[in-house]
Structure 1
Amino acid sequence: MSAEQSSGKAEPQASRPLSGAAEQAGAASASGKHKKANIARLGPVGLIVLVLVISGLGMFWSVQPKPFSVKENLAEMIGSDAISGDAAPASKVPGTAVVATQIRVAKTMLHKPGGYLRNDMLPPGVLMDNMPNWEFGVLTELRDSVRSLRNDFTRSQSQSIESPLLQRADSDFNFDSEAWFLPSAEEMYVDGVDNLEQFLEALVSGNDNSASFYARADNLRAYLEVVEKRLGSYGQRLAASVGDPELTAAIEGQQSNAAGEATEAEATAAEATPWTQIDDVFYEARGYAWALLHMMKAVRIDFAQVLRQKNAEISMEQILRDLEQAVVRKYSPMVLNGHGFGVLANHSLVLASYLGRTNAAIIDLRVLLERG
């Protein structure tokens, strides 16, 4: 065999391993490109999934809590025999319905789905504004009722000593609602709930002389005066959503006439609410109405005898009916801001109408307590 033939036969044998290495290198390169392509595709998919999860949580956390039964809540906290009567319920220990309702309202605000959101620094809470404003409305009413409990309901006269528990609770609930670190708003509000629970326990046991409750007409009237001002303010801000001075003047003029204090300057003082704040005002007013509904139901129980003596039960029923309509579920995902009899509704004006009717009924109730 010649050398040429030998070399010719050897060439294919030497080229085989080189060809296999090239194939392996090509396969590895293709696999690397395939992995990079998969990673490149997973990035947008992961981002979409993250956005969907955050959006879903945000929508779930934005659902307003349902109203609870004030009677059942009182029975759970201090026993089933805490209330006497069915048609016209009354608390056997005055003040227990008000304090138990304040505790439940505060716990609902703190422990609803998502917890307390107003001071959140991470998504989805930091991206939300409807529920945080609802929480602030609830907190506003809670502050008003706890302050009235401290200064009016538990004081026999102006020279009497206030309860240290209510003093601390009032201070706790007036802490900055957006504080998130050392201490956070939640920590202070939980401490306020603890003080209210201790006061409720002392009120039921009767062992603490500083834990008292005086269900008198003048005490209730002082609280209603605070509620009137809140409802008047919310009504004015809601009515200003359309930016129509004549419409705002008409709605505000009706509320002022009910109080007997209407002036042209007051009726036209409201400025148009910026479109970016319309939903903020709406949900804050809804939160206040939700908390006020439960508080007025508690007042009806603790002040049952006073309302009966002043023939004010019908006015109280009117207040509760209007507040129940003010907090019904809103099915539209957006707060619509139509005008007049246009195509779209105006949720702010609807809520302003119910709060205006509530305010008028509260004014009637206050007058009955004073003169009835």
Structure 2
Amino acid sequence: MLDPIVNFFVKLFQWIGRGIGLLIGVILWPFLWAGRWYTQRGWILKAVVGLALLVLIGLYANFFYATQWWNRFNPNYPDTYTFEKRNVSAGEQVAAGAGTDTAKTCGNSGIAQVAADLTDFNVNQNAWISSMILYKLGLFGIDWDNTPWMDNKASFQRGINQAVRRTATELADNLGRVRTTSQIDADLQDARGNLQFDEYTWYFGVSPFGPKTPTPSYYRDAVRKLRSFNARLATCQATFDARADNLKQYIDRIASDIGSTSAILKERAENHNNGWFDTRADDRYWFAYGQLYAYYGLMKGAQADFEDVIKEKHLQSLWDTMDAQFVSALRIQPFIIANGREDGWLLPTHLTTMGFYVLRVRSNMVEISNVLTQ
């Protein structure tokens, strides 16, 4: 009586097995064909092809390592600066220099220091993923950002770079000069220009065709320029205008920047909530994470640079609240990013969670900005 049922399931599993075998065969066929072709060639061609394969395997091994190993990643990195012990605003003269200008000492800029260190983290302590040749080639021509793999670190780095770019612009246009009537600092101007360079340039390109200077080279030069500015500032040979209106403008620009990111997270969460199968959710998440990672340190630097303003406006409590929101957001590091429905009961909605913390940070910044206008 059970024989027909048993036979049905036997045939079903046989067909499933044949289907899996056929799929494996289709996947392996190009490799088998290539193997047969390789064995029929002469030894010179074999050597050339073999060397090319070894180079390709080496490139992929390096690419896998570069994308999966996040060297010196530390969400609590702002604590290592101990800015709270500095007790001097950026550009404020500390020592008179015994009557000589060259011996004067001034407070350097925590913002410039953090911006330089974040860029150094991106391109020196880690490989800059977005301009690596295998990242540009994608997965069989598919952009890595459209896959679930290999793009998280690249998105995180671009999020950091977005924050540093915004900061470099503010340093050059406002913070590093007296109002807008003085000359732009040459180092800050160069740093801003270098950080605005395209994020995806490799050593060779087709538009225009020919060799190019890769992206990391420009960013490394920006690190040197930012540190040069800070060294001159420490000897009172550069300017940092630590006024309340400059701090307000910087915070307003950051609030606008992360507000745009919040809108991107909202759009993705509402219109593409495919759970674990949304292949763009991870790069949206890690871009936002990178922004908050960078702005957490930059806000610590700003707290040191504008120490007098923060004391005068009694902003310490609001600033501590903002820092706590940064810390809470940076604790969320899911192994797999899921873009589930907000009212779903099975899959998490990491984009909405990150968007909540982005808006909380932005809300704290708006409060600080409002106090600065009083």
Considering the TM-score relative to the shorter chain, is it more than 0.5?
A: yes
Unaligned stretches of 5+ in structure 2?
A: 1-35, 40-49, 95-105, 139-143, 145-149, 204-211
1:103 aligns with 2:116: yes
Displacement of 1:141 after TM fit?
Answer: 0.4
| Selected match of 2:293 from 286, 290, 295 | 290
Partner of 1:360: 363
Aligned counterparts of 2:152 and 2:242: Cα–Cα separation in 1: 36
The counterpart of 2:132, out of the listed 114, 120, 124, is 120
Q: Shift of residue 145 of structure 1?
A: 0.6
Aligned-partner residue type, residue 236 of structure 1: A
Q: Secondary structure at the match of 1:168?
A: helix
Contact 2:90 2:110 in 1 (8 A): no
Give percent identity, aligned residues only: 19
Alignment-derived partner of residue 141 in structure 1: 163
Aligned residue pairs, count:
289
Whether the 8 Å contact between 2:107 and 2:234 is mirrored in structure 1 is no
Task: Tell me the CA shift for residue 284 of structure 1.
Answer: 0.9
Deviation per CA, 1:156-191: give whole Å up to 9, x if none. 222111101111111010011111122111010111
Given that 1:65 and 1:112 are in contact with CA atoms closer than 8 Å, whether structure 2 keeps it comes out as: no
Q: Residues 240-281 of structure 1: CA distance to partner in whole angstroms, max 9, x if unpaired?
A: 223269x9xxxxxxxxxxxxxxxxxxxxxxxxxx94322221
Matched, 1:205 2:208: no
* 2:328 alignment counterpart: 325
Equivalent-residue separation in structure 1 for 2:306 and 2:59 (angstroms): 50
Counterpart in the other structure of 2:343:
340
Task: Compute the displacement of 1:361 (Å).
Answer: 0.6
Query: Counterpart amino acid of 2:128?
Result: Y
Quick one: which amino acid aligns to residue 183 of structure 1? Answer: T
1:87-120 CA-to-partner distances (Å, cap 9, x unmatched) read x99986444211111111111111334x111111
8 Å contact 1:54–1:124 — kept in the other structure?
no
From 257, 279, 283, the equivalent of 1:230 is 257
More displaced 10-residue stretch of structure 1: 230-239 or 360-369: 230-239
Distance 1:62-1:333 versus aligned 2 partners, 3 A rule? farther
Larger radius of gyration: 1
Trace 1:193-272 onto structure 2 (pairs within 5 A).
193-206=223-236, 208=237, 211-243=238-270
For the residues of structure 2 that align with 1:136 and 1:173, how far apart are their CA atoms? 11
- Name structure 1 gaps, 5 residues minimum: 1-35, 76-80, 248-273
> Which residue identity is paired with 1:220?
L
Aligned residue among 359, 364, 372 for 1:369: 372
Query: Cα gap change, 1:354/1:71 in structure 2, threshold over 3 Å: closer, same or farther?
Result: closer
- Aligned match of 1:8: none
